Chains A and B, each alone.
Chain A
């Protein structure tokens, strides 16, 4: 049943996500073209002010596009969860012979996949924008070189920890969204507003705990900054914290769906 739920989840999102990615990649290409025009000293850009304004405009548009891409990804993941489980579609979803675990896991997998795809598209757009240009190429190559150096200097274990940390972060982000929506449906009125409030509140609390934890760890590891030990301990602590948050979000959401479902 999990596979079937996933199939329909991906299908329902596919059109909107493809459209969003196409628009964003289009914006990236426009920005790239305008940067290239300046690079090759295109005759139409003889006027320096005009060239600068065009480049600046394109770059600003690109960065707005980056922000919009991530915000829309979040919004669409949240809306899919809300509409499919807490809205009218929930009358069908929750009368399917499917366990609450399957519902939650399918939504987590689809949400995490979409977030990762959006991150990949974001990275790809950076490559499109900068590859081969004198203006932007160096930082990208330099970043790749530094990453490679880091793996060489320390060990692949650190790199694996970073990847794992990233994955757990994405799962945690998605579960905080779902948990907030589940808690929001417990109130009888203004459920969306309640969910947004809970989401903001949860993130503030998590941010404070995270900041406090980081301060404590950094002071404990004072003097070992940059060492393998430092990267291992900070990454492991971060992974543990995010895993605990994700597990809490999952258990909380599951309990609400199983014991307090309220499709009024």
Chain B
């Protein structure tokens, strides 16, 4: 299977080396897959995602996306949804759409407005007047309105109510190019497991398991959520 992301012996620490967030992670993500990056808080999920997006620099190891080292080329093909609200709070939604259209050649403006309409979000609204959940929906719409090769979603359903989760997951599945890869980081396994093709379990900065979701269910005879609870039992 052709891969969109390859990394070898990736290491990252914080506090001058006192906290090891990633300890030699090696992975290969296939094209056209929906992959769950699963692990408890502090397992290194967000660190790994930030390294993919060039927001942190690794101490050791190699990381290639679409054959390129992290840089301008990789940012052109990655659509990233961070945990935080990264949009300028004083901007209106239609201005944010213009911003994305200006910078990303693969941004689909029509798709963005359609999704806003379906979620009853007014394009004239300012970010600062919205609830946390609506802000997250707007960010997800921006991210999923791109025709990227790799979507990296950090806790996309963490801040929204359960009723909106199904809609968001169906938005993710229905609005991406089947040739593209989606990497979803979450600890809400039960909510996302039905859409996952592959799973990667991270624990204390190490990959403890990487497998196809269906194979794992068959081998273990239980759901991914149950496997997760088993692996990460306190």
Identify the A interface with B (CB < 8 A): 1, 4, 7-8, 12, 88-92, 94-99, 188, 259-264
- B72 and A98 contacting across the interface, CB-CB below 8 Å: yes
- B57 and A263 contacting across the interface, CB-CB below 8 Å: no
A-B contact pairs, 26 of them (CB 8 A): A4-B102, A4-B103, A7-B102, A88-B84, A88-B85, A89-B87, A89-B88, A90-B55, A91-B55, A92-B86, A92-B87, A94-B53, A94-B54, A94-B55, A96-B104, A97-B103, A98-B103, A259-B57, A260-B57, A261-B54, A261-B55, A261-B56, A263-B50, A263-B55, A263-B56, A264-B14
Does B141 touch A at the CB level, under 8 Å? no
A12 / chain B contacts, CB cutoff of 8 Å: 88, 90
A92 to B146, CA, bound (A): 14
A60 to B80, CA, bound (A): 52
- A99 and B72 contacting across the interface, CB-CB below 8 Å: yes
- A97 and B86 contacting across the interface, CB-CB below 8 Å: no
Closest 6 CB pairs of A and B: A91-B86, A97-B76, A263-B55, A92-B86, A91-B82, A97-B75
A220 to B197, CA, bound (A): 76
B54 / chain A contacts, CB cutoff of 8 Å: 94-95, 261
Does B15 touch A at the CB level, under 8 Å? yes
Identify the B interface with A (CB < 8 A): 14-16, 50, 53-57, 72-73, 75-76, 78, 80, 82, 84-88, 90, 99, 102-104
B84 / chain A contacts, CB cutoff of 8 Å: 88, 91
A7 / chain B contacts, CB cutoff of 8 Å: 102
Q: Beyond A260-B57, A264-B14: 10 further Cβ-contacts under 8 Å?
A: A7-B102, A88-B84, A89-B86, A90-B86, A95-B78, A97-B73, A98-B72, A99-B72, A262-B56, A263-B50
A4 / chain B contacts, CB cutoff of 8 Å: 102-103
Query: What is the CB-to-nearest-CB distance from B73 to chain A, in angstroms, rounded to a whole number?
Result: 8
B139 and chain A: residue at smallest CB distance: A92
Question: Known contacts being A95-B78, A97-B76, A97-B103, is A88 close to B86, with CB within 8 Å?
Answer: yes
CB contact between B55 and one of A89, A95, A97, A259 (< 8 Å): that residue:
A95
A1 to B103, CA, bound (A): 7
A102 and chain B: residue at smallest CB distance: B72
Question: Known contacts being A95-B54, A97-B76, A260-B57, is A188 close to B88, with CB within 8 Å?
Answer: no
CB contact between B57 and one of A95, A96, A98, A261 (< 8 Å): that residue:
A261
Query: What is the CB-to-nearest-CB distance from A86 to chain B, in angstroms, rounded to a whole number?
Result: 11
A-B interface pairs (CB < 8 A), number? 61
Query: What is the CB-to-nearest-CB distance from A98 to chain B, in angstroms, rounded to a whole number?
Result: 7
Query: What is the CB-to-nearest-CB distance from A139 to chain B, in angstroms, rounded to a whole number?
Result: 42
A264 / chain B contacts, CB cutoff of 8 Å: 14, 56
Question: How would you classify the secondary structure of chain A's contact residues: helix, strand, loop or mixed?
Answer: loop
B80 / chain A contacts, CB cutoff of 8 Å: 91, 95
A95 / chain B contacts, CB cutoff of 8 Å: 53-55, 75, 78, 80
B78 / chain A contacts, CB cutoff of 8 Å: 95
A188 and chain B: residue at smallest CB distance: B15
- B57, B76, B86 — which one has the most chain A CB atoms within 10 A of its CB? B86
B90 / chain A contacts, CB cutoff of 8 Å: 12
A94 / chain B contacts, CB cutoff of 8 Å: 53-55
Question: Known contacts being A95-B80, A97-B76, is A188 close to B14, with CB within 8 Å?
Answer: yes
A98 / chain B contacts, CB cutoff of 8 Å: 72, 75, 103
B102 / chain A contacts, CB cutoff of 8 Å: 4, 7
A108 to B44, CA, bound (A): 35
A4 to B98, CA, bound (A): 11
Query: What is the CB-to-nearest-CB distance from B65 to chain A, in angstroms, rounded to a whole number?
Result: 12
Query: What is the CB-to-nearest-CB distance from B101 to chain A, in angstroms, rounded to a whole number?
Result: 10
A5 to B66, CA, bound (A): 26
Query: What is the CB-to-nearest-CB distance from A134 to chain B, in angstroms, rounded to a whole number?
Result: 46
A262 / chain B contacts, CB cutoff of 8 Å: 56-57
Query: What is the CB-to-nearest-CB distance from A189 to chain B, in angstroms, rounded to a whole number?
Result: 9
B57 / chain A contacts, CB cutoff of 8 Å: 259-262
A59 to B143, CA, bound (A): 53
A188 to B14, CA, bound (A): 8
A177 to B15, CA, bound (A): 25
Query: What is the CB-to-nearest-CB distance from A199 to chain B, in angstroms, rounded to a whole number?
Result: 23
B96 and chain A: residue at smallest CB distance: A92
A24 to B18, CA, bound (A): 50
A259 and chain B: residue at smallest CB distance: B57
B16 and chain A: residue at smallest CB distance: A188
B16 / chain A contacts, CB cutoff of 8 Å: 188
A188 / chain B contacts, CB cutoff of 8 Å: 14-16
Query: What is the CB-to-nearest-CB distance from A213 to chain B, in angstroms, rounded to a whole number?
Result: 37
- B57, B73, B78 — which one has the most chain A CB atoms within 10 A of its CB? B57
